[in-house]
Structure 1
Amino acid sequence: MSIRLLHPSIQSGLNKGDSKHAGGVLTCKCLDRPVKVKVSTGIAHNHACGCTKCWKPEGAAFSVVAVAPSEAVSVTENGDKLAVVDPSALIQRHACKECGTHMYGPVERDHAFKGLSFIHPELFDSGDWPEPGFAAFVSSAIEGGVDPSEMDGIRAKLREVGLEPYDCLSPALMDFLATWAAKKSGVLQ
């Protein structure tokens, strides 16, 4: 049985990136007037994501997505081509109206991730960005059209390339979200 394409950057294993990667320029897939977004700092929490909201390359079951502080993310060229995909979503994904590539997605509402922007590191102008550390929302790939019978093979392939599959975020991020909620409600100080 062949394994569905996870994502081009992880299918054959993780490319050991530079943990001190200082950002760079993200470029959409347009050949004419591409959108360019500068990320002026390193990224964090890079992971493969199976949710149906994240932008994925053609044929991929997963996206690769990370976060950067929103104040370090700025549109530098052709911002007139951007539109928010879903204004009601927590992550305000700004996508190119021509090629559909999601360029950045800030979280602006009251949430543990407020002040962060989600980006797709494969769009960087260099390939030395930090490798993904886990796979999130793996079961959600079914909602994107993956046959449920493929899931055992997909989870095995994710582990084979070095990504632990979760059906939520990583335990550390889930703890962060729960801590934020507990502090907000007053249960924790």
Structure 2
Amino acid sequence: MINKIISKYKATLDNFKGGELKCHCLTKPVIVEIKGQSAHNHACGCSKCWKPDGALFSQVAVISKDNLKVTNNESKLTVIDDSATIKRFACKRCGVHMYGRIDNTEHPFFGLDFIHTELSTQKSWSAPTFAAFVSSIIETGTKPEDMDAIRQQLTSQGLAPYDCLSPVLMDVIATHIASH
């Protein structure tokens, strides 16, 4: 199940111009245009993230919110949980999360949108470099006794497993908090 998500995007092109993300609706899909390359791509096990059918992890990256534009069927989007830090915009019909946005200007990740690059047919997005919130897959039904094997598989694919964000992103959060 991990391979279903992680292996999809191996190559990263520095000069990648971006692409489109599409929901799973067969007619009138929501289409989101992304300009430029994504960053901090990772496998995410959190229980809030949308995941493809049968997958333990989603693939999540960030881009500047200025580089995201909904180009088709924006009226089909709804925010899943208005009280969440990350407002996840999902298609009302198929349920796919198209992007997440933080509207709190004091948050260290304000200005970034979270995207699921596995919703794109383009193959040159930034490659995943770590796995976040790995233990959270227990909340969605994974047996605790399977976790060692899952962490070993993630590690064998070059994805350091964390139960938070990567050290670089945790440093960004701590630096932001220290400066305010």
Q: Answer yes or no: same fold by TM over 0.5.
A: yes
Shift of 1:153: 0.3
Q: How many residues are treated as equivalent by the alignment?
A: 179
1:71 deviation in Å? 1.2
- 5+ long unaligned stretches in structure 2: none
After superposition, residues 1-80 of structure 1 pair within 5 angstroms as 5-6=1-2, 8-10=4-6, 15-80=10-75
TM-score normalised by L of structure 1: 0.91
Gaps of 5+ in 1: 185-189
Moved over 6 A (4+): none
2:168 to 143, 154, 172: 172
Q: CA–CA distance in 2 between the matches of 1:20 and 1:143?
A: 38
Deviations 1:135-170 (A, max 9, x none): 011111111111101100000000111100011100
CA RMSD of aligned residues (A): 1.3
Contact kept, 8 Å, 2:43 with 2:58, in 1: the verdict is yes
Task: Report how far residue 88 of structure 1 moved.
Answer: 0.6
TM-score by length of 2: 0.95
Question: Are the equivalent residues in 2 in contact too, given 1:14–1:161 (CA < 8 A)?
Answer: no
SS of equivalent to 2:28: coil
Q: Equivalent pairs: percent with the same residue?
A: 52
2:131 matches 1:135: yes
Q: Does structure 2 retain, via aligned residues, the 8 Å contact 1:159–1:165? A: yes
Q: Give 1:115's aligned amino acid.
A: G
- Give matches, 1:108-119, under 5 Å: 108-109=103-104, 110-119=106-115
